[in-house]
Chain A
């Protein structure tokens, strides 16, 4: 295979060899892998983009609480603040990103349709970050797709080198991976070089190493949705740093290796079993009792 890659090093080599951005390598990789024309691959990504857009659109209007009453309506609260930005410390881009990410998280918890990009638990970060920033610099839909392809390429490297499952690696593998992917995607949308994209991904992932998965009652609600929202801030920050030519001292592949190692030593109690961390706080136990789990 001409465009095959499993590590960031291989990916960057391919970018250099063909003088192409990461997104185009990812597109060609997929076309080659499934033996389909590039147009088919693009169309599939468009479907994902449209589904994410729908989830955001529904989520920012929704007041609906989940069956557990733990979450719901926060996306609307955040989105309202866009008319009242003097009250906010973050700017329009970050507040909107948080609103969008929360919208997707709430839709997921309420059984709405979302895109598991890379997983259902971390599905808010990429639409939050990429959509809000795309609106800011009036990027066309085409550019948004480029961001999504780059994000997916980074996710692929994490899946190959470590894992994208919280049951295996904790939250670092879901929200952490999503933040890293979004940082790279955003950097490409801002015309960063492939190297800068990978540096952004590395810096973002480094700040999430070791994050455990400890959801209340084992449900994808608390703290997942808020972690998605705040993850957008880190993604935007990491991308800003990369554009400012700050480089990750540790190469991305080594960060992924570290993530894998941490996943291996992480106690199963902190891997999506609701047996440790926030899940066993006083509030967590109450929720478990309410759900009839104990």
Chain B
């Protein structure tokens, strides 16, 4: 959306000290958690550019970890997220790394692991607490963390257009409409980001969609708020 909201100016309500390095970082963590769909046992953060340079002073590390634990950007527990993660038995590591000149200066690559499951997510904090997820596993994507009318559904599936048709039917049955689809393919697999108009999708509904043949996972990014 091109026009600003009054609450872009009067907000967000957040834990300091920096909107891009703290609030934005927390939001990237939240997205990673939502895409992974469970609390990981182990997370490794690769911090690029300005994130790598000044992450300690701005508590970027604590905010990222807090986001992975589903804390909101306004949650004062961000300050103690290291201790909380230890209590929850989440192993974490922060590594400074150059991810390439193409990346935004405030970028982090996260590797989330839980048993055999593993997911790599790269996100950038693009200013004022706004973020963008630019890569999921091997797929280049663009998921923007801007509140709006559209909800996103991230679907990983085999290279077969019929799957999307089937998915569309299921969504229609739920009273939802697909506004836009963006797909990226990599080695016979496709990752589609569906923008959906209508109500929120519940977790059981997303799970139900995962039963379609050829679909690896369905993630509904609807609950993310601040």
Chain A residues engaging chain B, CB cutoff 8 angstroms:
4, 6, 26-27, 29-30, 33-34, 41, 44-45, 47-48, 51, 68, 107-121, 123, 148-149, 151-153, 155-156, 159-160, 164-165, 167, 181, 217-221, 291, 293
Picked from B7, B8, B9, B18, the residue with its CB within 8 Å of the CB of A120 is B18
Given A120-B19, A167-B127: A34 and B13 interface contact (C-beta under 8 Å) = no
CB of B168 within 8 Å of the partner chain: no
Query: In this complex, what residue of A is CB-closest to B53?
Result: A293
- What B residues does A293 contact at CB under 8 A? 53-54
- Which of A51, A156, A217 contacts B4 (CB under 8 A)? A156
Q: Report whether A51 and B74 are in contact in the complex, using a CB–CB cutoff of 8 Å.
A: yes
Contact with A along B88-111 (1 / 0, CB 8 A): 000000000000000000000000
**Distance in angstroms between the alpha carbons of A181 and B14 in the assembled complex:** 20
Q: Which residue of B lies closest to A154 (CB)?
A: B9
In the complex, how many angstroms separate the beta carbon of A99 from the nearest chain B beta carbon?
18
Give B residues with C-beta under 8 Å from A: 3-20, 22-23, 53-54, 56-59, 62, 74, 76, 78-79, 127-129
| Other contacts beyond A112-B16, A117-B9, A120-B22: 20, CB < 8 A | A4-B3, A33-B6, A34-B5, A48-B7, A48-B10, A48-B11, A51-B74, A111-B17, A113-B74, A115-B13, A116-B11, A119-B128, A120-B14, A120-B23, A149-B6, A152-B7, A152-B10, A165-B127, A218-B54, A219-B58
Report the nearest B residue to A218, measured CB to CB.
Answer: B54
For the complex of A and B, list the 10 residue pairs with the smallest distance between their C-beta atoms, beginning with the closest. Answer: A108-B16, A155-B9, A30-B6, A220-B17, A111-B79, A152-B10, A152-B9, A51-B13, A152-B6, A120-B19
Contact between chains at A218 and B11 (CB < 8 Å):
no
Contacts of B7 in A (CB 8 A): 30, 44-45, 48, 152
Within the assembled complex, what's the spacing in Å between the Cα atoms of A219 and B23? 15
- Nearest-CB residue, chain B, relative to A118: B9
For the complex, would chain A's binding face be called helix, strand, loop or mixed by DSSP majority?
A: helix
13 contacts between A and B (CB under 8 A): A26-B6, A41-B6, A109-B17, A111-B59, A111-B62, A116-B14, A116-B128, A117-B10, A155-B10, A156-B4, A164-B9, A165-B127, A220-B16
A29 to B8, CA, bound (A): 13
Name the residue in B10, B15, B58, B127 with the highest tally of chain A Cβ atoms < 10 Å from its Cβ.
B10
**Docked pose: A34 CA to B8 CA in angstroms:** 12
Q: How far is the CB of B98 from chain A (nearest CB, A)?
A: 17
Given A30-B5, A34-B5, A164-B128, A220:B18 Cβ within 8 A: yes
**Chain B positions within 8 Å of A47 at CB level:** 13
Q: Contact at A218–B57, with CB atoms within 8 Å?
A: yes
Q: Are B6 and A116 in contact (CB under 8 A)?
A: no
In the bound assembly, the distance between CA atoms of A218 and B4 in angstroms comes to 27
Q: Identify which of B7, B54, B79, B129 gathers the most chain A CB atoms within 10 Å of its CB.
A: B7
Contact of B9 among A121, A156, A218 (CB under 8 A): A156
CB atoms of B128 and A110 under 8 A apart: no
Which residues does chain A contribute within 8 Å of B6, judged by CB atoms?
26-27, 29-30, 33, 41, 45, 149, 152-153, 156
Residues of chain A lying within 8 A (CB to CB) of residue B16: 107-114, 120, 123, 220
Cα–Cα, bound, A111→B78 (Å): 8
Kindly report which residue of chain B lies nearest to residue A165, judged by CB atoms. B127
Residues of B within 8 A of A116 (CB): 11-14, 19, 23, 128-129
Q: How far is the CB of B117 from chain A (nearest CB, A)?
A: 32
Instruction: Judge whether B11 and A159 touch: CB under 8 Å.
Output: no
Contacts of B76 in A (CB 8 A): 111-113
CB neighbours (8 Å) of B79 from chain A are 111
Interchain CA distance A119-B57 in the complex, whole Å: 18
Chain B residue at minimum C-beta to C-beta distance from A4: B3
- Bound complex: CA of A96 vs CA of B61, how far in Å? 35
Determine which of A68, A113, A148 lies in contact with B57 in the assembled complex, contact meaning CB atoms within 8 Å: A68
In the bound complex, residues from chain A placing their C-beta under 8 Å from that of B12 are 115-116
- Chain B residues lying within 8 Å of A41, measured Cβ to Cβ, are 6
Q: Which residues of A contact B129 (CB under 8 A)?
A: 116
